[in-house]
Amino acid sequence: MKKKKKSQHNLFEHSEVKVKLLGTYLQKYFNIMSNTPFVNTVHYYDMFSGPGIYEDGGHGSPMIILRELKQAHFRSKARTVDLSSQYKCIFNDKDTEIIEALEKNIKEAKIHYPEIGTLEYSNKDYKEICPDVVKKLKTLLNSEKAFIFIDPYGYKDVRFSEIRDLLSNKKSEVLLFLPTHFMFRFSENGTPESLYDFINDIVPRDQWPKSVTGLDFVENLKHAFQQNLGKDFFVDSFIISRDKNQFFCLFFFTSHIYGFDRMLDTKWEIDTEDGRGWKFNAASSDLFSQVVNSPNISKFEKILEEYLEQKRSNKEIYVFTLRKGHLPAHTTQILKKWQDDGILVATLPNGKPARKSAFYISWSSYKNNQEAKIYLSVKQKRGKL
């Protein structure tokens, strides 16, 4: 019998962070999907599911997802108007024993009910199931959405072209984990063919920039993903730091700006200071400390100031804010300060002065092709902030 990796037996600390981000985001995602008349079916694919419960008692992605799904379903049922969707969950792992353990763990936990939707178990190789999922996604109706979680045992089998295919219908979102620490280390010490193949699938080898640090490597990957997909898509990263310069990373892909908005909100919920990722604190026994730090927005303030040297609409500023990895609340905080300092110009579309502190930097003021509500700019170039 092939010896299994430790990560298939135990839930490591960085894996707990992965499922924390996944669960926190999908709590928001499922609540949205269960409270809209425009979606009636959601497909969830876990391509490397694992057993659900590990030997050390840790809960993996299937248990976290089904827990969030159950809660979202019954919250929807409690509303005056029931808009709950049907959820079709497919859990895949090429190891038959792991899938059998997962099915047993789910049944014993009594965490899923038929009224929520369907469960399907698969033990296909990733290279076999991925084309099947792409084919299925291409048949989705406008009332259907999909979310795909890819947490591979390594990276050799995963290709960016597959992620692009999974996104091509613009009805799906993908969360991909990559062991970027090992990828960066290999790139420093004679790049192996498997890493060359992975990178070459995104960008020609001669165009791949040199990465001085592990963080550089993550940023280079994120930039390459975004450039390859184009402006119709949003790409973000969540960095998991175990030790100094040892970075693993989750990459999020979507074509829907509100999904991107909600993922950024999730990141800042976990990392209240930088919204960038998670760093292991050896002095604390709690992976997710309740200490809440103020958001670090000083760098963003300078970038936003340069952007507003030209007059911009509230809708343009909303997109700009998200593209820079920040929340509308951060932008609003900065704009209020500038308004108090007397250097912000805020006008209505008709040219009249806008009401104070009304900036409309939000999804609710962006959606459904609304007209711009306000235009903003800074009066002059300021000194150092």
According to DSSP, residue 138 is labeled T
User: pLDDT 10s per residue in the chain (385 long)?
Assistant: 444 554 555 445 667 888 989 999 999 999 999 888 999 999 999 999 999 998 888 899 999 999 999 999 888 888 877 777 899 999 999 999 999 999 999 999 999 999 999 999 999 999 999 999 999 999 999 999 999 999 998 888 899 999 999 999 999 999 999 988 888 876 655 566 788 889 899 998 888 888 888 888 899 999 999 999 999 999 999 998 876 667 889 999 999 999 999 999 999 999 999 998 877 654 443 444 444 467 899 999 999 999 999 999 999 999 999 999 999 999 999 999 999 999 999 999 999 999 999 999 999 999 999 999 999 999 976 454 4
Asked if residue 42 lies in contact with residue 32, where contact means CB atoms within 8 angstroms, the answer is: no
Handedness of CA 260, 266, 269, 274 (dihedral sign): negative
pLDDT at residue 12, as a whole number:
54
Asked if residue 149 lies in contact with residue 63, where contact means CB atoms within 8 angstroms, the answer is: no
Asked if residue 69 lies in contact with residue 93, where contact means CB atoms within 8 angstroms, the answer is: no
**Angle between the 61-78 and 13-33 helix axes, to the nearest 10 degrees?**
30
Question: How far, in Å, CA of 139 to CA of 48, rounded?
Answer: 23
For the record, the structure tokens of 189 come out as: 């010490």
pLDDT at residue 14, as a whole number:
62
Question: How far, in Å, CA of 162 to CA of 204, rounded?
Answer: 17
pLDDT at residue 283, as a whole number:
44
CATH 3.40.50.150 fits 6-279, yes or no: yes
Name the residue ranges covered by the structural domains of the chain.
6-279, 298-378
Asked if residue 125 lies in contact with residue 95, where contact means CB atoms within 8 angstroms, the answer is: no
Residue 164 makes CB contacts below 8 A (sequence gap 6+) with 228, 229
